[in-house]
Structures are given as structure tokens and as C-alpha cells.
């Protein structure tokens, strides 16, 4: 019987899964029903970004990017932590850094809002937890 996950590993798995599932739902809303969720006003803000004529005429590309860049990797990182894979700490750390980059763009494009602030704190927490998992080796299977 293997040793239980540490509190840090449990919190890391929980946070990455929370962020990942949220990104999957958000990306799904962008792809399959942005008008039903009142997202249309945000499209004008997205059209301030480079390549707006290619990527930001609808929510299809932003939804796809959200799924691919944040949703799937975050869920994968959480699953790796739960399965005690040696690369899990790197994935948690990388997901936090990628999320920080994504949010940096949101801080520039959108006006300040509580969701961006909260997710920035989540991303910073992921970076710290990923670093600590890496430093302590807490997700490795017992020898």
C-alpha cells in the first residue's frame, strides 16, 4: 500500500483540476454558445489583439486556445499529481507559468475584474506549489 499524498500534493491536484475543468467549460462555452452566456461584448475587446481578422471574429479560436493551452494541460497536471508521476511537479509549475502568461494578456486586453484577479492568485499559487513539489519530491511514488 502506498503512502498517502501530502497535503501540498492534494492541494496542487485540486487546484490544477479546478482551473483545468473551469477552462474546459469556458472553452466549451466559447465554442458552442457564447451568445447564450452573454460573452458577445468581450469579442470587441479581443479584437484589439494582433491578428484580430484571423483569430477574433468569433469565439471559436479563443475557445480552442483556452481548451488547448489551459484546460487540457491543467487537467493533465492534476492527474499526474494524483498518480504520483515524477513529472507532475514540472507540469504544475509549467501550468502556473502558462496561466500567468494567459492572464497577463487578459490584464492588458480587459478592464480589471475580480475573475482575473482571483485566477492570477491561483496561477501564482500553482507556481509556488509546483516549485515546492519539485524541491521536495512529494509526488514521487515511494521507493
pLDDT tens-digit profile of 75-113? Answer: 999 999 999 998 999 999 999 999 999 999 888 888 788
Q: Give the separation between CA 70 and CA 52, rounded to whole angstroms.
A: 21
The residue-averaged pLDDT of 107-129 equals 92
pTM of the model: 0.86
Q: Do 141 and 2 meet the contact criterion of CB atoms below 8 Å apart?
A: yes
Domain ranges of the chain: 7-136
The residue-averaged pLDDT of 112-140 equals 91
Supply the DSSP symbol for 39.
Answer: -
Taking 60 as the threshold, does the pLDDT of residue 13 lie above it? yes
Strand residues in the chain grouped as ranges (E): none
Q: Give the separation between CA 84 and CA 71, rounded to whole angstroms.
A: 20
Q: How many CB atoms lie within 10 A of CB 53?
A: 8
Per residue in 15-35, pLDDT tens? 999 999 999 999 998 888 767
Give the pLDDT band of residue 142 (cuts 50, 70, 90): low
Amino acid at each position: 500500500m502506498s503512502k498517502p499524498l501530502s497535503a501540498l500534493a492534494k492541494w496542487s491536484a485540486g487546484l490544477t483540476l479546478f482551473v483545468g475543468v473551469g477552462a474546459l467549460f469556458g472553452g466549451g462555452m466559447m465554442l458552442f454558445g457564447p451568445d447564450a452566456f452573454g460573452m458577445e461584448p468581450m469579442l470587441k475587446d479581443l479584437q484589439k489583439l494582433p491578428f484580430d481578422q484571423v483569430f477574433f471574429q468569433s469565439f471559436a479560436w479563443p475557445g480552442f486556445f483556452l481548451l488547448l493551452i489551459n484546460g487540457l494541460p491543467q487537467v493533465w497536471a492534476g492527474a499526474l499529481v494524483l498518480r504520483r508521476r515524477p513529472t507532475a511537479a514540472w507540469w504544475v509549475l509549467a501550468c502556473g507559468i502558462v496561466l500567468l502568461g494567459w492572464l497577463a494578456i487578459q490584464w492588458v486586453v480587459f478592464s480589471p475584474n475580480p475573475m482575473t484577479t482571483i485566477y492570477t492568485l491561483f496561477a501564482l499559487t500553482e507556481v509556488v506549489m509546483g516549485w515546492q513539489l519539485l524541491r521536495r519530491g512529494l509526488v514521487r511514488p515511494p521507493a
